[in-house]
Amino acid sequence: MPLPDLNPPAASAEAPESTPPPYACSHCHDCGYNNFPPADVCPKCWSESTTLQDLSREGILYSFSTLVGRDSSQFVGYVDLPDKIRVFGLLTTTDRPDCGTPVSFVEARPVGNGPCFVFDVSPTQEA
Protein backbone atom coordinates (compact mmCIF):
# COMPACT_ATOMS: atom_id res chain seq x y z
CA MET A 1 0.00 0.00 0.00
CA PRO A 2 1.53 3.37 -0.95
CA LEU A 3 2.18 5.71 1.86
CA PRO A 4 0.30 8.99 1.85
CA ASP A 5 2.29 11.85 0.52
CA LEU A 6 3.13 13.88 3.57
CA ASN A 7 4.82 16.57 1.61
CA PRO A 8 2.46 17.58 -1.14
CA PRO A 9 3.94 20.16 -3.43
CA ALA A 10 3.26 23.61 -2.12
CA ALA A 11 0.66 25.48 -4.09
CA SER A 12 3.46 27.27 -5.83
CA ALA A 13 3.41 29.90 -3.15
CA GLU A 14 6.63 31.49 -4.13
CA ALA A 15 8.92 32.43 -1.33
CA PRO A 16 8.77 36.10 -0.55
CA GLU A 17 11.19 37.87 -2.81
CA SER A 18 14.36 38.73 -0.99
CA THR A 19 14.41 42.27 -2.14
CA PRO A 20 16.08 44.81 0.07
CA PRO A 21 13.76 47.04 2.03
CA PRO A 22 13.50 50.60 0.79
CA TYR A 23 15.97 52.95 2.39
CA ALA A 24 13.17 55.34 3.05
CA CYS A 25 10.74 56.68 5.58
CA SER A 26 7.18 57.83 5.17
CA HIS A 27 6.73 61.58 5.26
CA CYS A 28 3.46 63.03 6.52
CA HIS A 29 2.25 65.95 4.46
CA ASP A 30 -0.06 67.15 7.22
CA CYS A 31 2.23 67.34 10.23
CA GLY A 32 5.65 66.78 8.66
CA TYR A 33 6.48 63.75 10.75
CA ASN A 34 8.89 61.22 9.27
CA ASN A 35 8.15 57.64 10.24
CA PHE A 36 10.43 54.65 10.02
CA PRO A 37 9.77 52.04 8.91
CA PRO A 38 7.44 53.64 6.37
CA ALA A 39 3.72 53.41 7.08
CA ASP A 40 0.63 54.33 5.13
CA VAL A 41 -0.80 56.22 8.10
CA CYS A 42 1.03 58.86 10.11
CA PRO A 43 1.35 57.59 13.70
CA LYS A 44 1.33 61.16 15.01
CA CYS A 45 -1.77 62.63 13.40
CA TRP A 46 -3.38 59.63 11.68
CA SER A 47 -3.23 61.35 8.34
CA GLU A 48 -3.17 59.09 5.32
CA SER A 49 -1.41 61.78 3.33
CA THR A 50 1.99 60.15 3.48
CA THR A 51 4.55 59.46 0.81
CA LEU A 52 7.73 57.47 0.71
CA GLN A 53 10.77 59.68 1.12
CA ASP A 54 14.36 58.58 0.68
CA LEU A 55 16.44 58.78 3.81
CA SER A 56 19.57 60.86 3.99
CA ARG A 57 22.67 58.94 3.09
CA GLU A 58 24.82 60.65 5.68
CA GLY A 59 24.31 60.24 9.39
CA ILE A 60 25.97 60.17 12.76
CA LEU A 61 26.73 57.01 14.69
CA TYR A 62 24.62 57.18 17.83
CA SER A 63 25.59 53.91 19.47
CA PHE A 64 27.15 50.63 18.50
CA SER A 65 27.72 47.11 19.67
CA THR A 66 30.31 44.48 18.85
CA LEU A 67 29.42 41.11 17.37
CA VAL A 68 32.28 38.85 18.30
CA GLY A 69 32.78 36.11 15.76
CA ARG A 70 35.12 33.17 15.64
CA ASP A 71 37.50 34.76 13.17
CA SER A 72 36.64 38.40 13.34
CA SER A 73 34.36 40.88 14.93
CA GLN A 74 31.74 43.04 13.36
CA PHE A 75 30.09 46.18 14.52
CA VAL A 76 26.46 47.12 14.38
CA GLY A 77 24.98 50.38 15.44
CA TYR A 78 22.25 52.95 15.45
CA VAL A 79 22.66 55.85 13.07
CA ASP A 80 20.94 59.18 13.54
CA LEU A 81 19.87 60.73 10.26
CA PRO A 82 19.02 64.37 9.59
CA ASP A 83 15.51 63.16 8.79
CA LYS A 84 15.01 62.71 12.56
CA ILE A 85 15.13 58.99 12.03
CA ARG A 86 17.33 56.49 13.84
CA VAL A 87 18.10 53.32 11.92
CA PHE A 88 19.93 50.16 12.84
CA GLY A 89 22.66 48.89 10.58
CA LEU A 90 25.85 46.99 10.03
CA LEU A 91 29.04 49.04 10.08
CA THR A 92 31.71 48.26 7.52
CA THR A 93 34.60 49.12 9.76
CA THR A 94 36.84 46.50 11.31
CA ASP A 95 38.12 48.95 13.88
CA ARG A 96 36.11 49.94 16.89
CA PRO A 97 34.19 53.05 15.88
CA ASP A 98 33.45 56.08 18.00
CA CYS A 99 30.00 57.32 18.81
CA GLY A 100 29.39 60.61 17.04
CA THR A 101 31.39 59.58 13.99
CA PRO A 102 29.90 60.47 10.61
CA VAL A 103 28.75 57.44 8.64
CA SER A 104 27.39 57.08 5.16
CA PHE A 105 24.86 54.69 3.74
CA VAL A 106 26.31 51.95 1.52
CA GLU A 107 23.54 49.55 0.67
CA ALA A 108 20.33 47.90 1.74
CA ARG A 109 20.36 44.13 1.93
CA PRO A 110 17.47 41.72 1.85
CA VAL A 111 15.83 41.17 5.22
CA GLY A 112 16.48 37.98 7.11
CA ASN A 113 20.16 37.75 7.79
CA GLY A 114 21.12 40.42 10.22
CA PRO A 115 20.94 44.14 9.72
CA CYS A 116 19.67 45.10 6.31
CA PHE A 117 21.25 48.54 6.11
CA VAL A 118 24.99 48.90 5.77
CA PHE A 119 26.91 52.02 6.71
CA ASP A 120 30.46 52.99 6.00
CA VAL A 121 32.26 54.59 8.91
CA SER A 122 34.14 57.65 7.83
CA PRO A 123 37.76 57.55 8.82
CA THR A 124 38.30 59.34 12.07
CA GLN A 125 40.83 62.10 12.28
CA GLU A 126 44.35 60.77 12.03
CA ALA A 127 46.06 60.30 15.36
List of residues contacting Zn ion (CB under 5 A): 28, 30-31, 33, 42, 44-45, 47
Q: Please say which residue, 46 or 54, places its beta carbon nearer to Zn ion.
A: 46
String of DSSP letters for 35-102: ESS--SS-TTT----EEEEEPPSEEEEEEEEEEE-SS-EEEEEEEEETTTEEEEEEE--SSPP-TT-E
Q: Please say which residue, 31 or 39, places its beta carbon nearer to Zn ion.
A: 31
Kindly state the smallest distance separating residue 83's Cβ from Zn ion, in Å.
14
Kindly state the smallest distance separating residue 28's Cβ from Zn ion, in Å.
3
Q: Please say which residue, 47 or 53, places its beta carbon nearer to Zn ion.
A: 47
Kindly state the smallest distance separating residue 79's Cβ from Zn ion, in Å.
23
Residue 106: CA atoms inside 13 Å, Cβ hemisphere, count?
A: 16
